[in-house]
Amino acid sequence: MKVAVVSVYEGGPRKRHYLMSSEEKHIMKQRLLTCALLLPLTLAGCKQSDPKVTPPPPQVAKEAADANTYTLKIAFFGLIAFVQDADKVHALLVNADYGSDPTEEQLPPGVFSELPTDPGERADELKASYPPHRARIRFRNAHIVAGNVPDPRKGQSIWGKDVTFSNNVQGISVDLSSLSRSRKIAATRGLSAVEATGFSSLDQVDPDLLSTTLDTQRLSARALITAGTVVAKPITDCGGDTTYSFKTAANSFLECPGRPEDAVKLAEEVVVTQENVLGQTVIAIGSDSITIEPDDPQKPVVIEIVNQIDEALDDPDKSFCEMDHLHLTAFRWFYRLLMPSAQRASAANHFFPCVQRGVAGGAKCPEVELGNGG
């Protein structure tokens, strides 16, 4: 039986002492001897219990996690159309890559018959209004961990490839409201409901272009976006007040129909922002891949998917506003992506943007949103 003796020390805590039996004293001596023998190896068996590890406060833990993450931006510009599904966005890079003397099938529907018959004059017209575009991928603030990027400035060709992006980010939100759509054509032209009937056919992508096999006759590449915040952005560095209307080939060179107050801003790029990316990002390009991580984690990593003219590719740091190629008629390439019934049957109504007010965005073409064929 244990008898408790309580002692009180002035200014100190109360302590309890127990009078141990002779048997308990013998057991205690054995334990002390065992601990002394094991001390050089471990003290684990002599502890009453393991000390508790106190986790860092939530804010400290969050800051530590944030220090290991980065922001990834995927920017699309050039001749690229976008098709939105419930949980993904397809980016379709139009095949506008051709030689010096393209055939009718290599040009936008209806364009070949409008060109001069003289080969020299035809080449000049094509260069001014329908210059070739090349599909490429470029990186900024990215360390290439694996894969090959032959030219760090011009990037790598992705012609004939499907492109996807993979990291830890999940979930998608989409705002493509600034992209060109047929309803904007009708509004800026002041068309009545009767006149606008059938315009939706100008927005319906041929569903075959979303199938498993890439149609390289009409597409130079495709990219699939499955995560991040997707926003269509009007270009502002050429003048924030630029607004557009739409015209057809039947309108004169200088004419831009519609009232200035009905003109709209149009997006010339779509940017996907992925926050809190942890670790590496893998970009699959056909059967190949490129793995990247940030050079400077404090700055966004930027992947550029472009379908541009040679002038823009040769000098990627040059302002688009300083380039002479306005070629808004190149917008007509998008009509190659329509369902077959709308490609040629409505060629006379294949509209393209014209500047109603302000300055055009140079070689950065307005892009378009297409319906999924439903």
The tens digit of pLDDT for each residue in 253-270 reads: 788 999 999 999 999 999
Q: Which helix (H) or strand (E) holds 188?
A: helix 182-189
pTM: 0.80
Q: What is the pLDDT of residue 49?
A: 43
Q: Is 239 exposed, middle or buried (0-12, 13-18, 19+ CB in 10 A)?
A: middle
Q: Is residue 60 part of a domain?
A: no
Q: What is the pLDDT of residue 222?
A: 98
Q: What is the pLDDT of residue 56?
A: 52
Q: What is the pLDDT of residue 86?
A: 86
Residues 95, 229 within the same domain = yes
Q: Is residue 197 part of a domain?
A: yes
Residues 359, 214 within the same domain = yes
Q: What is the distance between the alpha carbons of residues 359 and 356, in angstroms, rounded to a whole number?
A: 9
Q: What is the pLDDT of residue 143?
A: 94
326: helix, strand or coil? coil
Residues 7, 138 within the same domain = no
Measured from the Cβ of residue 228, the count of other Cβ atoms closer than 10 Å reads 24
- To 5 degrees, how large is the angle CA 323–CA 328–CA 333? 120
DSSP 49: S
9: helix, strand or coil? coil
Residues 160, 206 within the same domain = yes
Query: What stretches in the chain show pLDDT beneath 50?
Result: 1-20, 24-25, 27, 32-51, 53, 60-65, 374
Q: Is residue 148 part of a domain?
A: yes
The answer to whether 134 and 194 are in contact (CB under 8 A) is no
Residues 37, 100 within the same domain = no
The answer to whether 83 and 370 are in contact (CB under 8 A) is yes
Range of the domain at 160: 65-370
Q: What percentage of the chain reaches a pLDDT higher than 90? A: 45
Residues 352, 217 within the same domain = yes
Residues 108, 200 within the same domain = yes
